[in-house]
Amino acid sequence: MKLETKEELEKELTIIEKWEKDQKGLWFWERIGRIPFKLLDKLTPDFIQKKLGVMLDEIGSYIQNGGKYLTKETHILSQLQAKVPELEIKALKDVSGIPLQIMDSVSQDIKNSGSKLATVQGATTGIGGIFTLAIDIPLLLGMSIKTLQDISITYGFNPRDRQERIFIVKCLQFTTSDVVGKKALLNELSKMDQTDSQSKREIASELQGWREVVYTYRDQFGWKKLMQMVPVAGIIFGALTNRSMIADIADTGIMLYKKRRILERIQEPIAKN
């Protein structure tokens, strides 16, 4: 099966770089969405605050050893195999020889299925109002991490490697950051594949900011938290917020992992067709 030519890879890279430049920060409604949570923060029940503390520990555990969030690669490999029956996809190392178009197709399937599941979950937890927020936030965090791990496998990267788990947490930060944060994170992410040990040490040390991921998640639920006080609105906004969150995270993962795969292929000798 033919892989992309250097010209085709560079064209795809240009599209991704344009997407990076278009990341202007938070969507208007998400900006508004943070305001109510900050106004109501002092009224947040202790059980929600405790749940956020548990999430901080869980992200730390995920970075160190994967914890309970590690995904299985067999399902994603079978999805890829179904798209390219002429190739043998038995292990992650076999994925690097798959055309980008196939990787993109499976990643879109992951995005679509994740968004649908998040919609149902958000509507369900929206029924209980503010009290089910303590259930909704960690569930959505778990879905976010799983989505990014599945996409990483689709492009041939192993989330069992600690370096990849760092990359995944950085993707979470990128999705929920403002324009200044996105710019800084893009610079950090560009160093991920450098062999220079100093670069890797810098990235690892910068992860002291991973706690911001959880707090940003919390802020994202501000608008939803306010609307959940009205039963029907809680269901609607729960569904829309969760669907949007997973879709945005999947888009980030697709673009940034695809970029890494493209850069690797450009640096490799391109076989003559």
Interval 24-46: pLDDT, tens:
655 544 555 455 555 555 555 56
Instruction: Give the pLDDT of residue 126.
Output: 75
Residue count (the chain): 273
- Of residues 120 and 43, more confidence is placed in 120
Separation of alpha carbons 202 and 26, rounded Å = 27
Report the chain's mean pLDDT, rounded to a whole number.
Answer: 78
**HSE-CB of 239 using CA atoms within 13 angstroms:** 11
Q: pLDDT tens digit string along 158-216?
A: 998 888 888 898 888 888 776 667 777 787 777 766 655 555 555 555 555 566 666 66
With 60 as the cut, is the pLDDT of residue 151 above it?
Answer: yes
Q: Are 185 and 170 in contact (CB under 8 A)?
A: yes
Q: Are 134 and 221 in contact (CB under 8 A)?
A: no
Instruction: Give the pLDDT of residue 270.
Output: 47
| Among the listed residues 185, 255, 186, the one whose alpha carbon sits nearest the alpha carbon of residue 15 | 255
Q: Which tokens is 212 given?
A: 């911001």
Question: Taking CA 255 as the corner, what is the angle to CA 203 and CA 201, rounded to the nearest 5 degrees?
Answer: 10
Q: Are 92 and 77 in contact (CB under 8 A)?
A: yes
Q: pLDDT tens digit string along 200-225?
A: 555 555 555 566 666 666 665 555 55
State the pTM of this model: 0.82
Mean pLDDT within 148-159: 95
Q: Which tokens is 244 given?
A: 């949007």
Separation of alpha carbons 90 and 78, rounded Å = 8
N-to-C CA span, the chain: 10
Q: DSSP code of 161?
A: S
Separation of alpha carbons 40 and 59, rounded Å = 25
Coil vs helix vs strand at 196:
coil
Query: 53-67, 80-94, 198-212 — which one is most confidently predicted on average?
Result: 80-94
Instruction: Give the pLDDT of residue 148.
Output: 95
Give the list of residues 6+ apart from residue 46 with CB closer than 8 angstroms, or none.
none
With 90 as the cut, is the pLDDT of residue 80 above it?
Answer: yes
With 80 as the cut, is the pLDDT of residue 154 above it?
Answer: yes
- Of residues 53 and 102, more confidence is placed in 102
CA 170 to chain centroid, in Å, comes to 9
Confidence bin at 271 (pLDDT 50/70/90): very low
| Among the listed residues 140, 106, 66, 146, the one whose alpha carbon sits nearest the alpha carbon of residue 254 | 106
Cα separation values, 88 from 44, 96, 98, 104, Å:
52, 12, 10, 18
- Of residues 139 and 46, more confidence is placed in 139
Radius of gyration of the chain (CA): 19
Query: 42-51, 149-158, 209-218, 231-240 — which one is most confidently predicted on average?
Result: 149-158
Coil vs helix vs strand at 127:
coil
CA 68 to chain centroid, in Å, comes to 17
